[in-house]
């Protein structure tokens, strides 16, 4: 049986967890002191050896990404933290920064030192005022303690950190769109290559990492790569925060080794809400193909979820019970992608628009089986032909729902309306 492994969440129940005093009482900033006894390359090596893979969705090995920076370059190097958390269902970075902003700040300092950057940015989505306050304050406190600024802890190393608020655009979570946004432009993805590691922010070599990735670095430095790698599976090492939401008895954040299953997590969370059963779920946000109760025992690691036809993504486990209309769910996600498409490329801009129009009609019961083939055709024209992964992600709910729930679409057409009562799915409608 897999058990929970609180590391990043370990101090969240301390009333002062978000202050420097509270963080240091639990051993915070010890890793920073240790890091300065190591050469930058040793830290990069430790992160490589730990097996840490990006926690922002794609799972790219973090140490390897850092290793791509050219050894020297005429332009300054930058670390940019992606704190834009906007993928539907994803809700781990926001509570992490609210309760434990210093672990992120400590991670930023160690990571910047490792990649020899003297300027880091934390790009936080703008719609989370109190989280922004907490991170602003944590950075201020780090300056006051001499953890930021000039000659940090007598190491000779200088670092400045800027907290930057976004302004409401999902696409700015895409790393190159984020860079454009941070440079003061509309957030639209850039052509790759060149990759940010070579030419990123202001053209300088840039590392972009997710909040949780960077926050995992202090524990790796403090306890060692082997310690980190002792958790998780062979190719998906370490711990991660799993977010359970929806029709589950105890929704919330569960920090566990990668490879835990939904069955185990649901068990810990009191199961699907009383009197109901699991219908479908997302393993990693709305951009990952949906699963059903047949996938309860899929180990939630990058390889196993991939082999089962979806993606681990951000471990955003949105749970829907049998009262939920899958067509309605997919319609709403399609509206989201149409709204958030940045408009730069045709397959995504036009495709998500058509998705939205068609799904609206189908949900209202005005469709035919032929429409499903048209939807799959549109999907073929988006997937792999879009400029960035937003377009690909938009196809996931559509294609996977048609595959798994074709009959439910057909039932809408037969009845000429949606067969479900939305009141039954609500938080209060679940009363029996």
Ligand X SMILES: Cc1cc2nc3c(=O)[nH]c(=O)nc-3n(C[C@H](O)[C@H](O)[C@H](O)COP(=O)(O)O)c2cc1C
**C-alpha–C-alpha distance, residues 158 and 151, integer Å:** 5
Asked if residue 428 binds other proteins (CB under 8 A), the reply is yes
Least distance CB 211 / ligand X (angstroms): 7
Between residues 18 and 29, which has the closer beta carbon with respect to other proteins? 18
Asked if residue 55 binds ligand X (CB under 6 A), the reply is yes
**C-alpha–C-alpha distance, residues 322 and 305, integer Å:** 23
Number of amino acids touching other proteins (CB under 8 A): 111
Strand order across the 119-124 sheet: 160-165, 119-124, 78-83, 206-210
**C-alpha–C-alpha distance, residues 152 and 32, integer Å:** 10
Q: Which stretch binds ligand X (CB under 6 A): 52-60, 115-123, 347-355, 406-414?
A: 52-60
Using DSSP bridges, classify how beta strands 252-257 and 160-165 pair: parallel, antiparallel or unpaired: unpaired
Between residues 255 and 363, which has the closer beta carbon with respect to ligand X? 255
Between residues 15 and 191, which has the closer beta carbon with respect to other proteins? 15
Among residues 70, 194, 416, 429, the one that binds other proteins under rule CB under 8 A:
429
Residue 209, SS3 per DSSP: strand
Between residues 97 and 109, which has the closer beta carbon with respect to other proteins? 97
Q: Please identify which residue in the block is written with the tokens 């240091």.
A: 24
For residues 123 and 81, the answer to whether their CB atoms sit within 8 Å is yes
Q: Which of residues 59-78 bind ligand X (CB under 6 A)?
A: 60, 62
Q: Which of residues 163-202 bind ligand SF4 (CB under 6 A)?
A: 171, 189
Between residues 296 and 389, which has the closer beta carbon with respect to ligand X? 389
User: Burial of 14 by CB count in 10 Å (0-12 exposed, 13-18 middle, 19+ buried)?
Assistant: middle
Among residues 5, 8, 43, 54, the one that binds ligand X under rule CB under 6 A:
54
Among residues 8, 28, 77, 84, the one that binds ligand X under rule CB under 6 A:
84
| Phi, psi angle pair for 67, to nearest 5° | -65, -15
Among residues 5, 19, 86, 341, the one that binds ligand X under rule CB under 6 A:
86
Between residues 122 and 390, which has the closer beta carbon with respect to ligand SF4? 390
Among residues 248, 348, 383, 404, the one that binds ligand SF4 under rule CB under 6 A:
348
Asked if residue 85 binds ligand X (CB under 6 A), the reply is yes
H helical segments located in 230-261: none
| Phi, psi angle pair for 147, to nearest 5° | -85, -15
> What is the number of the residue whose Cβ is closest to ligand SF4?
348
Q: Which does 344 bind (CB under 5 to 8 A by kind): ligand X, other proteins, ligand SF4, none?
A: ligand SF4
Asked if residue 343 binds ligand SF4 (CB under 6 A), the reply is yes
Q: Which does 391 bind (CB under 5 to 8 A by kind): ligand SF4, ligand X, other proteins, none?
A: ligand SF4
CA 4 from chain centre, in angstroms, equals: 20
Among residues 32, 35, 115, 163, the one that binds other proteins under rule CB under 8 A:
163
Among residues 66, 113, 147, 239, the one that binds other proteins under rule CB under 8 A:
239
Least distance CB 71 / ligand X (angstroms): 21
Q: Which of residues 211-250 bind ligand X (CB under 6 A)?
A: 213
Asked if residue 342 binds ligand SF4 (CB under 6 A), the reply is yes
Q: Which stretch binds other proteins (CB under 8 A): 49-57, 130-138, 191-199, 298-306?
A: 130-138
Asked if residue 390 binds ligand SF4 (CB under 6 A), the reply is yes
Between residues 194 and 429, which has the closer beta carbon with respect to other proteins? 429
* Residue burial 378-414, b: 16+ Cβ < 10 Å; e: rest: bbebbbeebbbebbbbbbbbbbbbbebbeebbebbbe
Q: What angle do CA 123, 81, 332 make, to 5 degrees?
A: 65
**C-alpha–C-alpha distance, residues 13 and 19, integer Å:** 13
For residue 232, what are the contacts with CB-CB under 8 A and spacing of at least 6? 51, 238, 239, 257, 258, 259, 301
For residues 99 and 17, the answer to whether their CB atoms sit within 8 Å is yes
Return residues touching ligand X (CB under 6 A).
54-58, 60, 62, 82, 84-87, 170-171, 173-175, 208-210, 213, 388-390
């Amino acid at each position: 049986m897999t058990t929970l492994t609180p590391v990043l969440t370990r101090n969240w129940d301390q009333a002062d967890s978000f202050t420097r005093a509270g963080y240091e009482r639990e051993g915070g900033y010890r890793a920073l002191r240790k890091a300065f006894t190591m050469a930058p390359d040793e830290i990069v090596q430790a992160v490589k050896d730990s097996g840490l893979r990006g926690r922002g969705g794609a799972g790219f090995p973090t140490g390897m990404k850092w290793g791509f920076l050219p050894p020297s370059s005429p332009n300054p190097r930058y670390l940019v933290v992606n704190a834009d958390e906007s993928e539907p269902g994803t809700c781990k970075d926001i509570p992490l920064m609210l309760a434990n902003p210093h672990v992120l700040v400590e991670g930023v300092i160690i990571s910047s030192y490792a990649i020899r950057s003297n300027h880091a940015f934390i790009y936080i989505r703008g719609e989370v005022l109190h989280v922004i306050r907490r991170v602003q304050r944590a950075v201020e406190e780090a300056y006051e303690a001499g953890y930021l600024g000039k000659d940090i802890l007598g190491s000779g190393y200088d670092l400045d950190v800027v907290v930057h608020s976004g302004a409401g655009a999902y696409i700015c979570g895409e790393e190159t769109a984020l860079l454009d946004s941070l440079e003061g432009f509309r957030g639209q993805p850039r052509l790759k290559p060149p990759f940010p590691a070579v030419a990123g922010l202001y053209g300088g070599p840039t590392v972009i990492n997710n909040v949780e990735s960077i926050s995992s670095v202090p524990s790796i430095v403090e306890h060692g790569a082997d310690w980190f790698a002792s958790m998780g599976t062979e190719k998906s090492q370490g711990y991660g925060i799993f977010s359970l939401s929806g029709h589950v008895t105890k929704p919330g954040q569960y920090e566990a080794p990668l490879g835990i299953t939904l069955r185990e997590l649901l068990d810990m969370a009191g199961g699907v809400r009383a009197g109901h059963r699991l219908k479908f779920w997302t393993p990693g946000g709305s951009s990952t193909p949906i699963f059903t109760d047949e996938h309860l025992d899929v180990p939630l690691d990058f390889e196993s979820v991939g082999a089962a036809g979806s993606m681990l993504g951000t471990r955003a486990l949105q749970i829907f019970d049998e009262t939920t209309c899958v067509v309605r769910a997919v319609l709403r996600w399609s509206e989201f992608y149409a709204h958030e498409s940045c408009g730069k490329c045709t397959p995504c801009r036009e495709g998500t628009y058509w998705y939205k129009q068609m799904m609206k009609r189908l949900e209202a019961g005005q469709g035919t089986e032929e429409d499903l083939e048209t939807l799959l055709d549109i999907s073929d024209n988006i997937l792999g032909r879009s400029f960035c992964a937003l377009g690909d992600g938009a196809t996931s709910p559509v294609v996977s729902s048609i595959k798994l729930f074709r009959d439910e679409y057909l039932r809408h057409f037969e009845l000429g309306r949606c067969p479900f009562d939305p009141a039954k799915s609500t938080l209060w409608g679940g009363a029996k």
